[in-house]
């Protein structure tokens, strides 16, 4: 056992180990919602689930994880208290994590066997005399040296700055070991200098393209003036002949000739240039003021010349104006410090694999950037691939709704090959997709319950989800009254409406699709064009408000509607891909997945798929996160993001 606790197994340790083996607490990666979609009930197998690695002693890995997610899982594992174990289902290759202590197939029986193994290992080997430390690659740090005045100067060995001659200072940075994304680089920038922060933030905002709202403009403006100011300090025009030299950091050092500072070794600069810092050259300062008086500058400038020089105290010591000079301004125009807060990829209230980077101004979200660590870029893994491989690959692309994508692949293949299916098969396919819609919406409800802290919603919705997926049409019909009672009770939950109404309001526009669009009053549903749906009396349901409450009610209504559709069809079939033969052609299909319309176009050449292009609803929905979250309080922002039902797996680039 690699994660054993240091010690020997004597009588006391044996008792402790036996007790721990009975009380296993798991942290699930990428998330419990993925376990449920493959029909695994972790609670039923005797595993308590924890929202934080600090309370867990078993890391449960469900399925194969992409590299970015494995790095994050390493951090989680490194934070778990010892003794700790790793349990994997359906995969064995989890490097850089240590070798799993128990592993099994991706089934409930496999999980139960693996948990029994873990219990045995805990009871036998929870304490060991020799244990190794585990370090997550992303947590490894290295020391580098940088100039306090020139953050762009970074080198590995100590020395002097090539620009100003100042002694370089030591700094800790995140290790750059296999991180595919640019996180360490960005972190380094932010940590290096507060100056770089507003610049990075504003760039983010303009990239996101949400410059429609009013205060955004103000931000850009303030930033603009801050930037200029920065330039002014760095490169003043040298019109006056310098008489004396001083150190930019130590204004008390004044010399008649150029040289280096006796205190810090920095090159001395002409007095006029240092004026901006020490505040005793009013002339230079006044000029700087005139130069950008056209800018809308607020805060920042007023107290500039006001501070008197006191012997032994640096000028502007603890001056609020100086401290907040280069900081970003909030919506009210005050300059305050902002912090970067990551949420995910394993945040319990968000789907696993979604990584949010929020910039918080107090408790309000100033900027957002969302990223999927599990998204796939290519619907074709092997090129060319056989139809069966293609269908399986597309289904694996979206583990939260595999059947809808399987159907999408089948439809496109059949269209390319010029085939058509019998009406009874088409209806059975409809029922299986509707059953998945019910399960998917219930899965979303469970995540919503986890996020809002109502564990009864989470438990009931998860239990219903496990019952519905894989159920026959008759079982679905018998489940219906209980499910309706649950949904009615859910919508009557005290304070739920007050909590959700007005959160994450989205006006109807083309980016929206699926339940999110229908909750905003758009009758956009590709099912309404389908003759098979028309035959059994399908009509599009919509809401008007377009907020988190409307989306919740919309999904509840769609669950009921889908149950009715399944009852009307009366049978649920397994979705098998057709044999395509050696046909050639191009095919296009669209399927209304639980998250919206997914479109696939593919080219078939002699029975092999040689090109494919997919458009998923979630890729567009990811851009909505900014609209939903920015300017909101953190809790409201997370609720709004959760209500979009984003599946990070479906994000294509």
Query: From the CB of 20, what's the least distance to another protein, in Å?
Result: 10
Q: Shortest Cβ distance from residue 8 to another protein (Å)?
A: 8
Q: Please select the residue that binds another protein; options are 362, 423, 470, 581, rule is CB under 8 A.
A: 362
Measured CA to CA, the distance from residue 394 to residue 587 in angstroms comes to: 15
Region binding another protein by CB under 8 A among candidate stretches 37-45, 128-136, 217-225, 405-413: 128-136
Residue 390 is classified by DSSP as H
Q: Which of 50, 79, 91, 491 binds another protein (CB under 8 A)?
A: 79
**Nearest residue (CB) to another protein, 71 versus 458:** 71
Of 40, 87, 136, 590, which lies in the binding site for another protein, with binding defined by CB under 8 A? 136
Q: Residue 343 or 390: which CB sits closer to another protein?
A: 343
Read off the tokens for 128.
């060991």
Instruction: Please say which residue, 140 or 588, places its beta carbon nearer to another protein.
Output: 140
Three-state SS annotation for 167-230: ECEEEEEECCCCCCCCHHHHHHHHHHCCCHHHHHHHHHHHHHCCCCCHHHHHHHHHHHHHHHHH
Does position 7 bind another protein by CB under 8 A? yes
Please state whether 316 falls in left (phi above 0), alpha (psi between -120 and 50) or beta.
left
One residue of 2, 5, 223, 518 binding another protein per CB under 8 A: 5
State yes or no: residue 573 binds another protein (CB under 8 A).
no
Which strands sit side by side in the sheet containing 585-593, from one edge to the other?
585-593, 596-605, 608-615
Q: Which of 287, 289, 633, 652 contacts another protein by CB under 8 A?
A: 633
Q: Which stretch binds another protein (CB under 8 A): 111-119, 255-263, 340-348, 396-404?
A: 340-348
Q: Supply the minimum distance, in Å, between the C-beta of residue 150 and another protein.
A: 21
346 touches another protein by CB under 8 A: yes
- What is the rounded distance in angstroms from the CA atom of residue 211 to the CA atom of residue 229? 24
Stretches 330-338, 481-489, 515-523, 598-606: which one binds another protein (CB under 8 A)?
A: 330-338
Out of 26, 226, 345, 379, name the contact with another protein by CB under 8 A.
345
**Residue 316 or 608: which CB sits closer to another protein?**
316
Distance of alpha carbon 199 from the chain centroid = 22
Q: Is 339 in the site for another protein (CB under 8 A)?
A: yes
DSSP 240-283: SPP--EE-SS-TT-EESS--B-TTT-PBPEEHHHHHHHHS--HH
- Residues 229, 292 contacting (CB under 8 angstroms): yes
Decide: is 341 part of the binding site for another protein (CB under 8 A).
Answer: yes
Residue from 130, 156, 170, 172 touching another protein (CB under 8 A): that is 172
Check binding of 76 to another protein (CB under 8 A). yes
Angle of helix 11-22 versus helix 108-125 axis, rounded to 10 = 170
Q: Is 124 in the site for another protein (CB under 8 A)?
A: no
Place of tokens 């330039």: 231
Residue 133, interface with another protein (CB under 8 A)?
A: yes
Tell me: does residue 6 bind another protein (CB under 8 A). yes
C-alpha to C-alpha distance for 562 and 471, rounded to whole angstroms:
14
CA terminus-to-terminus distance, the chain: 40
Q: Comparing C-alpha atoms, which of 356, 339, 563, 373 is closest to residue 451?
A: 356
Tell me which residues in 182-221 interact with another protein (CB under 8 A): 183, 187, 190-191
User: Which of 53, 104, 449, 587 touches another protein (CB under 8 A)?
Assistant: 53
Looking at beta carbons, which pairs linking 12-15 to residues 24 or more positions away fall under 8 Å?
13/126, 13/127
Taking the CA atoms of residue 112, residue 117, residue 123 and residue 125 in that order, the dihedral angle to the nearest 10 degrees is: -150
Among residues 259, 306, 342, 423, the one that binds another protein under rule CB under 8 A: 342
Candidate residues 47, 61, 72, 446; the one interacting with another protein per rule CB under 8 A: 72
The answer to whether 180 contacts another protein (rule: CB under 8 A) is: no
Q: Decide if residue 361 touches another protein (CB under 8 A).
A: yes
Q: Return contacts of 162-169, CB within 8 angstroms, 24+ apart.
A: 164/248, 164/266, 164/267, 165/260, 165/265, 165/266, 165/267, 166/249, 166/264, 166/265, 166/266, 166/267, 167/264, 167/265, 169/145
Among 117, 218, 340, 535, binds another protein (CB under 8 A): 340
Which among 1-9, 42-50, 256-264, 385-393 is the span making contact with another protein, rule CB under 8 A? 1-9
**Choices 111-119, 236-244, 362-370, 548-556; region in contact with another protein by CB under 8 A:** 362-370
Q: Closer to another protein at the Cβ: 129 or 209?
A: 129
Kindly state the number of chain residues that form the binding site for another protein, as judged by CB under 8 A: 59
Q: How far is the CB of 283 from another protein (least distance, A)?
A: 32
Angle at 295 between CA 294 and CA 296, to 5 degrees: 120
Q: Does 347 bind another protein (CB under 8 A)?
A: yes
Among 67, 313, 334, 523, binds another protein (CB under 8 A): 334
Min dist. Cβ of residue 412 to another protein (A) = 36
Angle (CA) 380-384-390 rounded to 5° is 45
Dist CA 248 CA 270 (whole Å)? 9
- Minimum separation from the CB atom of position 290 to another protein (A): 30
Segment near another protein (CB under 8 A); pick from 86-94, 135-143, 375-383, 460-468: 135-143
Tokens of 193: 């200098």
In this chain, which of 38, 131, 463, 610 binds another protein, going by CB under 8 A? 131
Handedness of CA 203, 204, 208, 212 (dihedral sign): negative
Cα(464)–Cα(403) distance, integer angstroms: 18
Binding of another protein at residue 73 (CB under 8 A)? yes
Beta bridge partners of 173: 142
Residue 336 interacts with another protein (CB under 8 A)?
Answer: yes
- The span from the CA of 588 to the CA of 608, in Å, is 16
Residue in 22, 23, 44, 52 binding another protein, rule: CB under 8 A? 52
Least distance CB 566 / another protein (angstroms): 37
Task: Write down the residue that tokens 């998204």 correspond to.
Answer: 375
Among the listed residues 43, 44, 54, 158, the single contact to another protein using CB under 8 A: 54
Min dist CB 73 to another protein, Å, is: 7
Instruction: Tell me the closest approach of the beta carbon of residue 59 to another protein, in angstroms.
Output: 11
Determine the number of helices (DSSP H) and then strands (DSSP E) in the chain: 22, 19
Q: Whats the size of the chain, residue-wise?
A: 653
As given in the structure block, the two tokens for residue 338 are 């902002």
> Which CB, 38 or 190, lies closer to another protein?
190
Question: Among the candidate windows 73-81, 85-93, 280-288, 590-598, which touches another protein by CB under 8 A?
Answer: 73-81
| C-alpha to C-alpha distance for 304 and 286, rounded to whole angstroms | 10
The residues that touch another protein, with contacts defined as CB under 8 A, are: 5-7, 12-13, 16, 52-54, 71-73, 75-79, 81-82, 127, 131, 133-136, 138-141, 172, 174, 183, 187, 190-191, 324, 330, 332, 334, 336-347, 355, 361-364, 631-633
């Amino acid at each position: 056992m690699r994660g054993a606790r240091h010690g020997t197994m004597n009588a006391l340790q044996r008792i402790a180990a036996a007790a721990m083996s009975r009380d296993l607490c798991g942290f699930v990666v990428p998330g419990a919602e993925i376990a449920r979609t493959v029909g695994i009930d972790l609670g039923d197998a005797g595993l308590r689930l924890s929202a934080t690695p600090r309370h867990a002693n078993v890391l449960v890995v469900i399925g194969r994880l992409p590299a970015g997610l494995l790095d994050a899982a390493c951090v989680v594992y490194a934070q778990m208290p010892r003794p700790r174990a790793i349990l994997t289902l359906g995969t064995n290759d989890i490097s850089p994590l240590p070798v799993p202590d128990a592993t099994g197939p991706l089934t409930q029986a496999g999980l139960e066997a693996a948990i029994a193994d873990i219990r045995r290992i805990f009871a036998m080997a929870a304490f060991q005399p020799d244990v190794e430390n585990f370090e997550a690659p992303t947590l490894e740090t290295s020391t580098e040296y940088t100039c306090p005045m020139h953050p762009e100067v970074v080198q590995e060995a100590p020395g002097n700055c090539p620009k100003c001659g100042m002694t370089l200072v030591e700094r800790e940075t995140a290790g750059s070991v296999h991180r595919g994304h640019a996180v360490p680089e960005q972190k380094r920038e932010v940590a290096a200098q507060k100056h770089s922060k507003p610049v990075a933030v504003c760039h983010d905002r303009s990239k996101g393209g949400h410059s429609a709202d009013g205060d955004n403009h103000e931000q850009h403006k303030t930033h603009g003036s801050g930037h200029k100011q920065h330039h002014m300090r760095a490169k003043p025009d040298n019109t006056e002949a310098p008489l004396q030299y001083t150190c930019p950091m130590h204004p008390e050092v004044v010399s008649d000739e150029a040289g280096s500072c006796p205190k810090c070794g920095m090159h001395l600069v002409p007095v006029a240039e240092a004026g901006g810092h020490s505040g005793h050259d009013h002339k230079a300062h006044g000029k700087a003021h005139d130069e950008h008086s056209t800018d809308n500058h607020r805060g920042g400038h007023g107290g500039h010349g006001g501070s008197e020089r006191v012997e032994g105290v640096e000028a502007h010591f603890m001056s609020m104006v100086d401290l907040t000079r280069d900081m970003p301004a909030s919506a009210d125009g005050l300059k305050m410090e902002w912090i970067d807060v990551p949420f995910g990829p394993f945040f319990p209230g968000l789907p696993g694999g979604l990584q949010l980077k929020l910039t918080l101004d107090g408790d309000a979200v100033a900027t957002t950037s969302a990223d999927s660590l599990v998204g796939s870029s290519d619907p074709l893994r092997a090129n060319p691939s056989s139809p069966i491989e293609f269908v399986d690959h597309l289904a694996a692309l979206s583990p939260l709704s595999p059947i809808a994508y399987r159907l999408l692949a089948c439809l496109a293949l059949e269209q390319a090959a010029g085939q058509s299916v019998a009406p009874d098969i088409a209806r059975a396919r409809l029922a299986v997709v509707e059953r998945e819609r019910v399960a998917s919406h219930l899965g979303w409800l469970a995540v919503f319950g986890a996020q809002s802290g109502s564990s009864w919603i989470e438990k009931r919705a998860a239990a219903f989800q496990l019952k519905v997926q894989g159920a026959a049409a008759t079982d679905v019909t018998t489940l219906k009254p209980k499910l309706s009672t649950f949904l009615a009770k859910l919508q009557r939950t005290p304070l739920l409406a007050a909590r959700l109404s007005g959160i994450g309001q989205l006006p109807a526009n083309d980016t929206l699709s699926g339940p999110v669009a229908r909750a905003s009053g758009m009758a956009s549903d590709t099912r309404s064009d389908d003759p098979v749906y028309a035959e059994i009396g399908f009509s599009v349901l919509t809401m008007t408000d377009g907020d988190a409450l409307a989306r919740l009610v919309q999904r509840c209504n769609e669950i009921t509607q889908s149950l009715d559709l399944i009852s009307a069809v009366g049978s649920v079939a397994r979705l098998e891909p057709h044999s395509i033969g050696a046909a050639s052609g191009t095919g296009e299909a669209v399927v209304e997945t639980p998250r919206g319309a997914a479109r696939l176009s593919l080219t078939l050449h002699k029975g092999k798929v040689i090109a494919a292009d997919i458009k998923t609803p979630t890729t567009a929905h990811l851009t909505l996160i900014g609209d939903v979250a920015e300017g909101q309080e953190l809790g409201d922002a997370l609720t709004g993001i959760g209500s979009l039902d984003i599946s990070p797996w479906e994000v294509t680039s």
